[in-house]
Amino acid sequence: MAWRALAGVDEVGRGCLFGPVFAAAVVLPAQAAAPLAAAGLTDSKALRPRHRQRLVPLITAQASAWALGQASAADIDRLGIRTATEMAMLRALQRLPQAPALVVVDGVLPLRLWRGRQRTLVQGDRRCLAIAAASVLAKQARDALIVRLAERFPGYGLERHAGYGTAIHREALIRLGPSSLHRLSFLGKLLSGPRASR
């Protein structure tokens, strides 16, 4: 299997209370491995924000192809998080200029919506540079969106926690109620009689 035919896919924001889940698909040529490894590319969760930021232009310059996809909070509430995450991954893959011959998905769950060849890889974001690259691009794109949305939805501290269920975020939800971009299906017993705001 030629390296150019492999696309790594990863998602970010699966466990957030707010906003979309993001995914990226990245195809790397063989010659990209050495410079990306030397630059410290690994799972985005193991990297500091400034390191991730520096990696983005290197990844996009070295990649044969890359694309982003997302599924909204409404998609998550309607379909459930697994199907919505798969939708985001599928959208990223469909935006590649050519369908990859093999998709490598981080984790243990296969991408049910993908009709081509695929394999799952546990801790793939640490073991496969294409998946690690996808995790970095998805993380940076989602974080940038949440920072912009923090201005539209003030009071929740989104710029500080990116929509995850921190104590600050939970307190704000109790005080303000959920916004139109919160995942109501995730809030559970946190709110009694939740009210939509904004």
Task: Give dist(CA 176, CA 192) in Å, integer.
Answer: 12
pTM here?
Answer: 0.91
Phi-psi region of 22 (alpha: psi -120 to 50; beta: other; left: phi over 0): beta
Q: Is 16 left (phi over 0), alpha (psi -120 to 50) or beta?
A: beta
Strand ordering across the sheet containing 102-106:
65-71, 21-27, 6-12, 102-106, 118-121
What's residue 195's pLDDT?
A: 47
Which residues neighbour 73 within 8 Å (Cβ) at sequence distance 6 or greater?
18, 19, 20, 181, 182, 183
pLDDT at 191: 77
Q: pLDDT tens digits for the chain (198 residues)?
A: 344 489 999 999 999 999 999 999 999 999 999 999 999 999 898 999 999 999 999 999 999 999 999 999 999 999 999 999 999 999 999 999 999 999 999 999 999 989 999 999 999 989 999 999 999 999 999 999 999 999 999 999 999 999 999 999 999 999 999 999 999 999 987 876 444 444
Q: What is the pLDDT of residue 198?
A: 42
Q: Is 85 exposed, middle or buried (0-12, 13-18, 19+ CB in 10 A)?
A: buried
Domains and CATH numbers, the chain: 3-151 (3.30.420.10)
Give the pLDDT score at 147: 97
d(CA 5, CA 115): 15
